[in-house]
Amino acid sequence: MGKIKIGIHQHVFTSKINEQNISVLDLAKDIGFDSMDINLRNTDFDFAKVIRKKAEKLNFVLTGGGSLPKGKEIISSEKQKREESIEYMKEIVRKAFELGIELYHGLIYATAGVFTGEGPTNEEFEYSAEGLKTVANYAKKYGVHLCLEPANRYENYLINTVEDALKMVNAINEPNVGLLLDTYHMNIEEKDMYKSIVSAKDNLFHFHVNENDRGIPGTGHIPWDDVFKALKEINYDKIVAIESFVDSSIDLASVVAVWRRLSPGAEILAKDGYKFIKSISEKYKLM
Ligand SMILES: [Mn+2]
């Protein structure tokens, strides 16, 4: 059995990596991280190769997050809008490829922050499955996998739970489509974190460790022992990435509803979070 890698989301440090702050990769490596989640939406296409080279030099694995923004509506009743969102996702796939990224994850099955005031319809579910199947087939040529991240009820209404997400994965039925689970969303939507994680089994491609308030992991009330016991149970050997939004830009903050500082600073969150995740991973013999 392999070992898990501990990663960190770039949002802990910045909403956009550019020439001025690309040293956040060195900082993360120095702390001990082996991986970083890159914001695929905000990364400039021209700068992707620079980030890729830097990551290769540091022997760093990159993954890519990119929730569907407003205006890109994969479950719209209008065909043209659905097609536009598919084209947008194809472009993100090409960008992931430029970055050397194999995982494109996030709230990608619907539009973040867009609601109808009602629950999802069968038609919306079908539109999402159909669109994602098209993108998944396109992504195969680039060696990119799609990871659906069930997100809480305040961020979308189509997929809130692991059960919803597994239904979607089965409906799409492509080998390069799986799940990203996140303890922050699960804490709101799941009754039993251990059972939910175990139910994802081999469909689990990526994992976000978030405290219940999205602050430093280990300082709140997420049942971490249940989480890591479950990861051990399914022999999870991929990446466990810390996600937070300490220094996020305002546009992103409004989608994830972060209105206060969640830790004394990015570096402290990264260091203390790493220490905690490493120690609990070792406790459950995951590394
Ligand atoms: Mn997440």
The domains of the chain, with CATH numbers, are 5-283 (3.20.20.150)
Encoded tokens for 113:
């922050």
- Residue 41 forms beta bridges with which residues? none
pLDDT for the residue 2 = 64
Q: What is the pTM of this model?
A: 0.96
Query: How far, CA to CA in Å, does 36 sit from each of 15, 25, 233?
Result: 13, 8, 25
Distance 185 CA to ligand 1 centre (A): 8
Q: Rounded to the nearest whole angstrom, what is the distance from the C-alpha of residue 33 to the centroid of ligand 1? A: 17
- Which regions of the chain does DSSP assign to beta strands (E)? 5-9, 35-39, 61-65, 103-106, 145-148, 177-182, 204-209, 239-242
Question: What are the Cα distances from residue 79, in Å, to 74, 88, 127, 160?
Answer: 9, 14, 9, 25
User: From residue 188, how far is each of 57, 181, 217, 222 by CA, in Å?
Assistant: 39, 12, 16, 10
Instruction: Quickly tell me which residue has 């919803």 as its tokens.
Output: 164
Burial 256-266, CB ≥16 within 10 A → b, else e: bebeeebbeeb
Euclidean distance between CA atoms 44 and 58, whole angstroms = 21
Active-site residue set: 149, 243
Q: Please give the mean pLDDT across all residues of the chain.
A: 94
**Dihedral of CA 15/17/21/23: which sign?**
positive
CA 191 to chain centre: 21
| In the block, residue with structure tokens 């494109």 | 104
For 91-124, letters b (16+ CB in 10 Å) and e give: ebbbbbbbbbbbbbbbbbbbbbbbeeeeebeeeb
**Which amino acid, residue 124?**
E
Ligand 1 mean position, distance from CA 270 (Å): 16
Residue 198 has pLDDT above 80, yes or no: yes
Residues 204-263 pLDDT 10s: 999 999 999 999 999 999 999 999 999 999 999 999 999 987 655 555 666 677 777 777
Position 232 scores a pLDDT of 97
Q: Is the pLDDT of residue 59 over 90?
A: yes
243 C-alpha to ligand 1 centroid (Å): 6
pLDDT per residue as tens digits for the range 147-174: 999 999 999 999 999 999 999 999 999 9
Q: Which two tokens stand for residue 37?
A: 């989640």
> Which is nearest to 62 in space by CA: 22, 90, 91?
22
Counts of helices then strands in the chain (DSSP H, E): 10, 8
Measured in Å, residue 60 CA sits from the centre of ligand 1 at 20
